[in-house]
Structure 1
Amino acid sequence: MTELNRKVASAARWSLINTVVRRVGTFASGVVLARLFFGPREWGLYAVGLLVLAMLLSLNEMGVSLALVRWEGDIKRFAPTVLTLSTASSTAFYVLLYVTAPTVARLLGSPDATLMLRLLCISVIIDGIACVPLAKLNREFEQFWRTAVDILNFAVNTAVTIVLAAMHVGAIAFAWGSLAGNIVALVGFSLAAPGMLRFGWNRQQAKELYKFGLPLAAASLLTLGIVNLDSVVVGSILGPAALGLYAMAFNMSSWPVRMVSETARRVSFAGFSRLADSPAEFAAGFTRALSLVVAASVPMCVLLGVLADPVIRFVYGDQWGGAAMALQWLVVLGFVRVTVELAYDGIAARKRKTLMLMQGWWLFSLVPVLIWFAHVWGIDGVAAGQALVAGLLVAPVFLFVLSGLGIRAAGVARVCVLPFLGGLAMGVAAWAVHRLAGGGFLGLALAGVAGLAVYLPFVLPLLRSLRAKPQPLEPSPISEPAVLATAAPEVL
């Protein structure tokens, strides 16, 4: 276990650096684009493109590349079959999208997004090729190389997008920037994992890969449906301008997800998979990981919720102020997503078939709520519906399933109580200081510092306890042997 711990720790550090650098850069470039070049309508058109792209990426390689992370043995033996399958299926999905793009754009309330869809979704084919070397890097915890490639991807993407935006080409600048960055990433990943881009075919391997990957691809599609159903509802019912405001609120509420969850998920599934055969060590490892992600995500969620309106207006300008109320609801969803995504990886490592039922329940619950709330309360209603369904109908189901893996609800509550109490005190302090100091940079900075000063005493004992060697939890008598599984694929 010592060697595995060392690899996971090193990978986690580079994953954190990767996430912080790219998210800070994405934030800065977003501020420039929102203030100088694009309004809610252009942002809405891009949101339509990202919605369709995300859906395709959840299915494009049918889950087969994820076997490279989990299966034992020499992965180069079946990597050629994986590459052939993923490239062929990705190309087929893109051709289908290209033909249906006008209809898809119209159904999403944005007929002007047709060209955006056709150009942006070329990345589906690129992802189908790059997913093989990328899986090799994830399997071996080689996050240094992934960090280097991801940052280069971001730099090229941002530079191309801003230059084209300054040339007033419109929202299509997003698509050209994304395409340029993903091409660079494909080259980078192929160099970082040499020998992985070889096409080949083995019928028996293909059959086993599809048997492994299709349930995960279906679960991933359900996950993407859950995350993007709100955008479909807002775009089709309220139009692209409302979608732009909602997308801005959702992106801001996702800062904790991206900073905390993405950092953890680059190593969590691989780590949980190595512990899947030992229920006690698996439960201890999951509880330790949950402690860290909860302690890290609570302060971001609280500050965004309490200071939503002044933060939006200060960062992006008054034209985006209509997103404030939606943001306050969506930070609740953001916190639930951070914890649920960690649970997703843990369940995927040991009980993957259950994931489809859980995700199906989430999506089924959302559909009527979001449609009703959108008609009555607009984007604020959609955001409230997301938060209510996640907190009241979905989180209890995840807790129930985790209990069958030896992770008791009482143990989850113990690691959450101090961060929750600290978050409550933090919210009161930040709100009070903001009322006294006013808006602007100084007021927001003072509110943030005061909130963090109040929060730290609550979580320091928890962080100190995590430095000690974790004691295995007593496993539940209800457990399953490990199965081949993995988490949802990521966009390049």
Structure 2
Amino acid sequence: MASTVLSRLSTLAIGIALARILGPDAFGTFAVALVVLLAVLSFNELGVSLAIVRWPGDPREIAPTVATLSVLTSMLVYGALYLGAPLLARALGDPGSTTVIRVLGLSVIVSGLVATPVALLQRAFRQDRKTVADLVTNWTSALASIGLALAGNGAMSLAIGQLAGSLAGAVLFIAFAPQGLRFGFDPAKARALLQFGLPLAGSSIVVFATTNLDRVVVGAALGPTALGYYVLALQLASWPVTVFSQPVRAVLPAALARLQHDRLAMRRSFLSAVGLLGSITLPACLLLAAASDALIRFLYGDVWQPASAVLLWLGPLAALRIIFELFYDYFVVIADTRVVLTVQMVWFVVLLPALYAACVFGGLWQASAVQFAVALLVILPLYLVSLRRVGIAALPVAVRLGPPLLGAAAVVAVALLVARVTAIDLVVLAVAGVTALVAIGVLGYRLRHVVRELKTVG
């Protein structure tokens, strides 16, 4: 958690500086390239590195084979990305982003190279070492990007900075991993890894298509400037996801994997995690929505104000995504990856026409609102039905999320009331922020026994 908070605080400061330096147009060009990068990273190493986290035996048995598969596939993926960059740039509404895509895409090869060391650190619960590598990655990227942006390099400054940070972090990840980086190939283990990883890779493709469909459609239908507004709001909405959800996801799958022999204990730990994560994230996510106008104006300036209408809906959507990610991890641990794939396919099929219609007949506000509606009315019920099939009823989930929802509602009420009383953005943010912290503190204190239980499991 400390690692992620430090990382996100630095990322926020960096993002504010770059957004003010570059403006919506250049930021939108980088956003186009970033969408493409995230697409290929979603299936880059065919999901085989996740096998290290849940491997029932010694992960060192499979690490060399995983490393070989990861690097080979990442090089093939980058080759395809390089050739397809002009087509992808045109499809996303910004043909001028081709070179930015190719430069930023080199991070794909770096990702494949460090996939095994990162998984080994996760398996060993070495978040201390991962903290150092993550901070070096972020600050190297930041300093390079800001320096190049001030020199007038536009969107390319972000691409080069991102690549520089990835390379710096890669050196540390490899040095910090329990056994470094070793290559090898065992055909029998490779077959087992691909049997496990290919469904996850297919699922990851669909997950990316679903979670990034908004950026693709917004960029293609509304242009790179609108995409810049959208991505800025999305980055703010992702704050609770990266600060609270990612640290839990970094350790929870490995902790649950230790309980595979005791499904009842695994379910109890899962439900405890749902309640704890909801208590922290729901007030924070809904705070972003309720104070969206003040937050965008205060941090980024009036030129970015259209992003506030997007954040209004992406805040609550982030809360749902956090819970969905927890569901996703549970099904991965119990090796029921078909559920994950099915849910993501349904999500994509329902969201695509709804989102396109919202962009064509509406705008940014409608595009963000329709995403929240689909997640709430279609995907949440589908996940709950799937959980019931594996022995987790909807009622225990609802019981654990009830108090967090009440706390989040109180935060929203206070934020809206203060915004009506004063037009000073800093006052609105301060009062609403303190209210959210109090709500999180009270909810977290109620669940202090859950923290002890989860620490025992880990």
For normalisation by structure 1, the TM-score amounts to 0.89
2:149 maps to a residue whose letter is A
Q: What residue in structure 1 maps to residue 227 of structure 2?
A: 243
**Range with greater deviation from structure 2 (259-268 or 461-470):** 461-470
* Cα offsets for 1:395-435 (capped at 9, x unmatched): 11111111223222111111111111122122112221232
1:217 maps to a residue whose letter is A
Partners of 1:469 and 1:63 in 2: how far apart? 30
Out of 218, 225, 233, the position equivalent to 2:202 is 218
Q: What residue in structure 2 maps to residue 411 of structure 1?
A: 396
Partners of 1:249 and 1:257 in 2: how far apart? 13
1:433 aligns with 2:418: yes
Q: What residue in structure 2 maps to residue 482 of structure 1?
A: none
Which runs of structure 2 are paired with 1:374-385 in the superposition (5 Å)? 374-385=359-370
Partners of 2:444 and 2:67 in 1: how far apart? 46
**Residue 457 to residue 356, structure 1, CA distance change in 2 (3 Å):** closer
**Residue 199 to residue 442, structure 1, CA distance change in 2 (3 Å):** same
Instruction: Could you tell me which runs of 5 or more consecutive residues in structure 1 were left unpaired when the two chains were aligned.
Output: 1-15, 471-492
Out of 284, 303, 318, the position equivalent to 2:287 is 303
Which runs of structure 2 are paired with 1:324-335 in the superposition (5 Å)? 324-335=308-319
Partners of 2:449 and 2:43 in 1: how far apart? 41
1:429–1:451 Cα contact (<8 Å) kept: no
1:138 aligns with 2:119: no
2:280–2:444 Cα contact (<8 Å) kept: no
1:421–1:458 Cα contact (<8 Å) kept: no
Aligned residues: 453
1:397 aligns with 2:382: yes
Q: What residue in structure 2 maps to residue 463 of structure 1?
A: 447
Q: How much is the aligned-residue C-alpha RMSD, in angstroms? A: 1.6
Q: How far apart are 1:456 and its partner, in Å? A: 5.6
Q: What residue in structure 1 maps to residue 7 of structure 2?
A: 22
1:198 maps to a residue whose letter is R
2:417 maps to a residue whose letter is A
Partners of 2:82 and 2:303 in 1: how far apart? 34
Q: How far apart are 1:469 and its partner, in Å? A: 5.4
**Residue 93 to residue 460, structure 1, CA distance change in 2 (3 Å):** closer
Instruction: Could you tell me which runs of 5 or more consecutive residues in structure 2 were left unpaired when the two chains were aligned.
Output: none
**Range with greater deviation from structure 2 (458-467 or 284-293):** 458-467
1:111 aligns with 2:95: yes
Partners of 2:410 and 2:431 in 1: how far apart? 15
* Cα offsets for 1:182-214 (capped at 9, x unmatched): 111111011112544222222222211111110
2:120–2:178 Cα contact (<8 Å) kept: no
Q: How far apart are 1:464 and its partner, in Å? A: 4.5
**Residue 64 to residue 146, structure 1, CA distance change in 2 (3 Å):** same
Q: What residue in structure 2 maps to residue 228 of structure 1?
A: 212
Partners of 1:255 and 1:34 in 2: how far apart? 16
Q: What residue in structure 2 maps to residue 125 of structure 1?
A: 109
**Range with greater deviation from structure 2 (185-194 or 428-437):** 428-437
Q: How far apart are 1:163 and its partner, in Å? A: 0.6
1:447 aligns with 2:426: no
Out of 274, 277, 281, the position equivalent to 2:265 is 281
Q: What residue in structure 1 maps to residue 145 of structure 2?
A: 161
In structure 1, the residue corresponding to 2:83 is in which secondary structure? Answer: helix
Which runs of structure 2 are paired with 1:61-210 in the superposition (5 Å)? 61-193=45-177, 195-210=179-194
Partners of 1:457 and 1:194 in 2: how far apart? 36
1:325–1:380 Cα contact (<8 Å) kept: yes
In structure 2, the residue corresponding to 1:73 is in which secondary structure? Answer: coil
Partners of 1:385 and 1:276 in 2: how far apart? 38
* Cα offsets for 1:94-125 (capped at 9, x unmatched): 01111111111011101011011100010111
Partners of 2:441 and 2:9 in 1: how far apart? 27
**Range with greater deviation from structure 2 (262-271 or 398-407):** 398-407
Q: What residue in structure 2 maps to residue 486 of structure 1?
A: none
1:261–1:338 Cα contact (<8 Å) kept: yes
1:432 maps to a residue whose letter is L
1:359 aligns with 2:363: no
1:358 maps to a residue whose letter is V
Partners of 2:190 and 2:164 in 1: how far apart? 31
Partners of 2:84 and 2:36 in 1: how far apart? 11
1:94–1:122 Cα contact (<8 Å) kept: yes
Q: How far apart are 1:76 and its partner, in Å? A: 2.6
**Range with greater deviation from structure 2 (88-97 or 196-205):** 196-205
Partners of 1:378 and 1:370 in 2: how far apart? 10
Partners of 1:367 and 1:286 in 2: how far apart? 31
**Residue 149 to residue 464, structure 1, CA distance change in 2 (3 Å):** closer
1:364 maps to a residue whose letter is V
2:94 maps to a residue whose letter is S
2:285–2:315 Cα contact (<8 Å) kept: yes
Partners of 1:379 and 1:221 in 2: how far apart? 25
Partners of 2:302 and 2:156 in 1: how far apart? 24
* Cα offsets for 1:109-144 (capped at 9, x unmatched): 010110111000101111111101111111111111
1:437–1:446 Cα contact (<8 Å) kept: no
2:276–2:444 Cα contact (<8 Å) kept: no
Partners of 1:26 and 1:103 in 2: how far apart? 30
**Residue 458 to residue 142, structure 1, CA distance change in 2 (3 Å):** closer
Q: What residue in structure 2 maps to residue 387 of structure 1?
A: 372
Partners of 1:339 and 1:211 in 2: how far apart? 27
In structure 2, the residue corresponding to 1:276 is in which secondary structure? Answer: coil
1:434–1:447 Cα contact (<8 Å) kept: no
* Cα offsets for 1:41-65 (capped at 9, x unmatched): 1111111111111111111111112
**Residue 469 to residue 263, structure 1, CA distance change in 2 (3 Å):** closer
**Residue 72 to residue 459, structure 1, CA distance change in 2 (3 Å):** closer
Q: What residue in structure 2 maps to residue 33 of structure 1?
A: 18
Q: What residue in structure 2 maps to residue 339 of structure 1?
A: 323
Partners of 1:65 and 1:326 in 2: how far apart? 35
